[in-house]
Structure 1
Amino acid sequence: MSSHPLVEVFGFPINDFSEEAERHRRKKLCPYHNKVSFCTKDKANEPLGVCTISYEDQRLAITCPVRFRQDWIILEKAADFFFESGLKWTMFQEIRLKDKSGRSAGNIDFVLVAYDANGQVHDFGALEVQAVYISGNIRRPFEYYMANPEAHQDMVWKSGNIRPDYLSSSRKRLIPQVTIKGGILKAWGKKMGIVLHENFYSTLPQLPKVEPEEADIAWFIYGLDFNDQTKRYQLAHRQTVYTSFEPALKKITTPSPGNMEEFIAQLQERLDEKLDNMVG
């Protein structure tokens, strides 16, 4: 069992001391097709180069959206959903989406564009990549590790409860993405894909599924498999879940109610305290 939360730093397992891994740590490089060759997460000058953490009995959480770009398999899966076979396509990153009034609805992570023999747009689809927020200060163990990676790879780090914050990631990012961007794309009759790590997806309510040809949204679920030969983690497609827009949106935005009797008991306790104070 690991005594600290770090799994991958600057694209490599923290116990990988190959020349390539050490070069990436030394120069703060990103091997997963970032916009530039360097890691730019959190701060450009002092990037937080943590790609993946572990929590709760070695479960993994991908904490950087760029980590999903390994080998670009996320684009291939999305294109299979968006377009009929045989079409030529390309992709663009960070395309601004606007609502009817011209206000920004945010940037789409990837827009895949199919084009014809004359170079004209034939079709397009939008792909959003959802990593997870971290609860707790991950920068402290990261900086301690980076001060001497070989000596600190087996560090014991007990300060703070560092873990993925799936609830905030869903409420603050995933749900707004589906609601706002997905709503515009649905009105246009265009498809949307959402990339998630398997442990993030497992925290969502069970989504009502439809056949691929009936779907507005495809949820592309990925995991990380450790390769014993390369001694590195490989992004692997686990499953694709196909849904319609409205049922999926309703499912992820409708909370499961707790026990009302417990809530009433809490109110009664507060009421008893207040009445006792008034009598006193």
Structure 2
Amino acid sequence: METGRPYSRLLFRLERFNELTTEDRQRIADLPLKLVNYPAGRDVLSHGYATSQCTLVLDGFLFSHKPVSGSRRQITSFFVPGDVADLATLYLPAVDHSITTLGPAVLAFVPHTALKEAADRSTALTQAFWRETLMQAAILQEWIVNLGRRDAFARIAHIVCELTVRLQASGMARDLSFAMPWTQTDVADACGISNVHANRVIQEMRYLGLVDWNSRRLTIRDWNALMRLGDFNDDYLQYCASIKKDYPLTGHAAPEGGFARLRTSPLAYGVPGGAKSDC
């Protein structure tokens, strides 16, 4: 089976847990994928609308979100290359949220009928698709915990750790650095905080030497400290040991003073000069 093909990302994703047979791999290769380049900020699926196809992320990022109080929104998940962003629409075609591109993205659309036919012919593929659906549910559950029980600093740190692990599982971010075209507003909407609060936390992370966070690239400088401060444990992602051994599980010690240092940082109570930065 050739690598570098549109279906390769999906195959890599489905085989994280169990190797598929030659026949199953061919079924995935034969799926009628339609490749489309999407610009930034374009809805792929809109709340309340039905769809007859699933969306595979080949390059770039998507995010799901729901409106809150008019023009406000809550981001409920990010999707990275290799994710099928709307696999649940196989059986729930009318979505209760919207899915939008976060920066330019390359997507592959596959008809529900083709996916169902492949799954009907293979128990292994059916199980693989179910796992993907359940893993997305596990991520959503962790996001609920993140929003309900962690402070703003831990929320952002947790999401950064999660994205790093998920990107590594897709063969990216091996050097703890990845391009992410999100804005300060996107970060705030994912964490349920204000833009100003998100800006303060990002400044704080920079000050503590945890990350280099520029306009479009994030580089983690202290993985272990970021995990601890974000209360991050990747068990909910359910990645197999063969992938987890490549995770960045070593690094520097946590910042001296831990959370106490966060409270005494000169950035803890505001950004110097009232400056605002786009992350």
Q: TM-score normalised to the size of structure 2?
A: 0.28
Kindly name which structure, 1 or 2, has the bigger radius of gyration based on alpha carbons.
Answer: 1
Q: Normalized per residue, which structure has more helix? A: 2
